[in-house]
């Protein structure tokens, strides 16, 4: 294992930013900043055939796992869902991957469609995405408009009809510490493939631009809105695979250290990898699923990779008690070689700064942020929302989930949590700005996260504990596998409240 570079005073100076919880920080580069160009110098000649089998051949398919099982208060995930098959051949050390992708899309919009967008997040990074070929059945032509490839269908796609899209592309990983990029210790693939955005009848396909705070040099919130989809993914590591560990959104099928792995994931909003030759792994079984941690050597020496497991187990039990059972058989907690935190389906990433400063006590960012990120397995993964237009619907609840964790497991530190997490920032502003209209990173954090916690606390105080938690569970259950909105949230809370909540909404929400 290689030890990571020594961390300097920069980590300490950036630690205040870590406490904001989830922030993508990488899905698109700053439009005013110069981005490192992906170099092709180490690439072999372009591939003509990337797989020995057809993407649809039975031999290339993983053995299916059951659909997410219905739990108390939650219905099975609806179908039909878009299916993504991704065959990835990667050279970790040369930082490139060749990908054969097949998308099977059923038109569930309720009307004929003559155009279908493929949003391609890697196109935000110059040189990172190199298209080899694209074809569809039924036939279409395509055109690129900024970071979106539009498919113009020769004939409109009828309601409930199937469109199959075959894409061959190469990724050259940007040299950046981010959720899409590579460092000396880690390669992360989050939002790394072309996808069909979520669709709402009243809005059409939902696509947003990333928002960057040039003053703070950070991204403001998130911008990608995914619908539920199913994934069959294969990963082939071609260069010294015996040295490499892979964290992913689902459990791997295949011999450990073989470099050939298959994954199957249903009813998810995305599929992510974090790959490194520097990981130390610990895990614990919690009921029907495994909690697994991936950390670097300094965290292994400090015991942090193992110490995070009981914190995570407590948080998962809390959310299962308050809401409903976790829907997957694995949750991975991965140290991030960058200075922010992020949720994915079946996986969360916490900054190395959070790991570095863990002191084995609950008065610590690791204890604060682990429940925050894990709560997104309910509020983001199962209960979706437009994270650019209404980010409070997952981030306010995730921030408040930190408090709920301390109330249950460290009740003597509840006042400390309020002081250190919220009140020290003296937050103001509204809970519900969009990322575009948030006023920058600090205003976004203060409104969506910190005022969001105060808003939920006031609702709870007005309703009483029993009705408040019944309403939260109602919202989580009613909107499971759907896209929640403010109207859905308010409807759930109105069903359980004998108190007029309008003055609280008026206080915290944009008029």
Residue 338's CATH number: 1.10.390.10
Q: Do 236 and 89 touch, CB atoms closer than 8 A?
A: yes
Q: How high is the pLDDT of residue 21?
A: 67
Q: How high is the pLDDT of residue 74?
A: 87
In this structure, the number of other CB atoms found within 10 A of the CB of residue 174 comes to: 23
Tens of pLDDT, residues 321-353: 999 999 999 999 999 999 999 999 999 999 999
Helix and strand counts by DSSP (H, E) for the chain = 12, 24
Supply 220's token pair: 């403001």
Q: Is the peptide bond before 255 cis (omega within 30 degrees of 0)?
A: no
Phi/psi for 429 (5° steps) reads: 100, 180
The model's pTM: 0.89
Q: Is there a domain that residue 3 lies in?
A: no
In 185-341, at which residue ranges do the beta strands (DSSP E only) sit?
187-189, 199-200, 204-205, 212-213, 218-219, 229-237, 245-248, 260-268, 273-276, 280-286, 289-295, 330-336
Q: How high is the pLDDT of residue 5?
A: 37
Mean pLDDT of the chain: 89
Tens of pLDDT, residues 193-208: 999 999 999 899 999 9
Question: Domain tally for the chain?
Answer: 1
- Report the C-alpha gap between 305 and 312 in whole angstroms: 11
Phi/psi for 219 (5° steps) reads: -85, 150
Q: Is there a domain that residue 285 lies in?
A: yes
For 86, the domain range is 9-63+71-508
Which residues, at least 6 apart from 313, have a Cβ–Cβ distance to it below 8 Å? 284, 286, 291
Partners of 119 in the β-ladder: 148, 195
Which residues, at least 6 apart from 7, have a Cβ–Cβ distance to it below 8 Å? 352, 353, 356
Q: Is there a domain that residue 2 lies in?
A: no
Tens of pLDDT, residues 65-108: 344 444 555 899 999 999 999 999 999 999 999 999 999 999 99
238 HSE (CA, 13 A, CB side): 12
Q: Determine how β-strand 280-286 pairs with β-strand 289-295.
A: antiparallel
Q: Is there a domain that residue 197 lies in?
A: yes
Name the helix (H) or strand (E) containing 503.
helix 502-508
Q: How high is the pLDDT of residue 22?
A: 73
Q: Is there a domain that residue 343 lies in?
A: yes
Q: How high is the pLDDT of residue 62?
A: 37
Q: Is there a domain that residue 1 lies in?
A: no
Which residues, at least 6 apart from 262, have a Cβ–Cβ distance to it below 8 Å? 62, 232, 233, 234, 235, 252, 253, 254
Supply 58's token pair: 């039975």
Supply 439's token pair: 């006023």
Output the DSSP codes for 462-497. Answer: HH-HHHHHHHHHHHHHHTTTSEE-HHHHHHHHHHT-
Sheet with 162-172: strands ordered across: 129-137, 162-172, 96-106, 82-91, 229-237, 260-268
Tens of pLDDT, residues 111-129: 999 999 999 999 999 999 9
- Report the C-alpha gap between 191 and 208 in whole angstroms: 14
Q: Do 343 and 383 touch, CB atoms closer than 8 A?
A: no
Q: Residue length, the chain? A: 511
Residues of the chain with pLDDT under 50: 1-15, 24-70
């Amino acid at each position: 294992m290689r030890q990571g570079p020594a961390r300097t005073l920069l980590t300490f100076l950036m630690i205040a930013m870590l406490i904001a919880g989830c922030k993508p920080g990488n899905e698109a580069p700053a439009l005013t900043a110069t981005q490192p160009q992906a170099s092709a110098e180490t690439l072999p000649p372009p591939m003509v055939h990337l797989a020995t089998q057809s993407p649809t051949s039975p031999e290339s398919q993983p053995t299916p796992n059951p659909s997410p099982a219905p739990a108390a208060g939650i219905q099975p995930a609806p179908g039909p869902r878009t299916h993504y098959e991704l065959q990835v051949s990667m050279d970790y050390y040369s930082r490139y991957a060749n990908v054969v992708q097949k998308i099977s899309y059923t038109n569930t919009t309720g009307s004929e469609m003559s155009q279908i967008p493929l949003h391609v997040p890697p196109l935000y990074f110059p040189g990172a995405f190199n298209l080899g070929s694209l074809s569809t059945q039924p036939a279409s032509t395509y055109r690129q408009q900024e970071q979106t490839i539009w498919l113009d269908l020769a004939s409109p796609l009828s309601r409930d009809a199937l469109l199959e899209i075959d894409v061959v592309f190469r990724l050259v990983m940007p040299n950046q510490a981010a959720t899409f990029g590579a460092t000396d210790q880690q390669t992360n693939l989050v939002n790394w493939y072309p996808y069909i955005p979520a669709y709402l009848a009243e809005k059409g396909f939902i696509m947003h631009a990333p928002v960057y705070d040039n003053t703070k040099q950070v991204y403001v919130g998130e911008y990608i809105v995914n619908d539920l989809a199913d994934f069959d993914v294969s990963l082939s590591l071609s260069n010294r695979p015996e040295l490499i560990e892979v964290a992913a959104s689902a459990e791997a099928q295949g011999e450990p250290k073989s470099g050939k792995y298959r994954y199957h994931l249903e009813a998810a909003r995305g599929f992510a990898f974090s790959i490194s030759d520097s990981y130390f792994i610990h895990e614990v079984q919690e009921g029907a699923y495994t909690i697994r941690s991936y950390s670097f050597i300094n965290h292994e020496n400090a015991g942090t990779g193992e110490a995070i497991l009981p914190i995570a187990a407590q948080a998962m039990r809390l959310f299962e008690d308050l809401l409903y059972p976790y829907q997957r058989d694995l949750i991975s907690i991965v140290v991030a070689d960058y200075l922010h935190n992020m949720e994915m389906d079946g996986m969360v990433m916490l900054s190395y700064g959070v790991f570095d400063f863990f002191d084995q006590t609950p008065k610590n960012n690791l204890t604060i942020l682990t429940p925050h990120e894990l709560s997104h397995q309910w509020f983001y993964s199962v209960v979706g929302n437009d994270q650019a237009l209404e980010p409070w619907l997952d981030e306010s609840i995730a921030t408040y989930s930190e408090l709920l964790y301390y109330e249950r497991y460290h009740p003597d530190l509840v006042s400390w949590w309020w002081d250190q997490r919220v009140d020290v920032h003296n937050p103001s502003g509204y809970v519900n700005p969009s990322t575009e209209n948030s006023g920058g990173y600090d205003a976004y954090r203060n409104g969506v996260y910190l005022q969001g916690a105060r808003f939920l606390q006031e609702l709870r105080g007005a309703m009483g504990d029993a009705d408040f938690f019944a309403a939260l569970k109602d919202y989580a259950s009613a909107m499971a596998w759907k896209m929640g909105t403010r109207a859905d949230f308010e409807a759930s809370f109105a069903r359980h409240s004998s108190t007029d909540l309008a003055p609280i909404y008026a206080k915290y929400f944009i008029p």
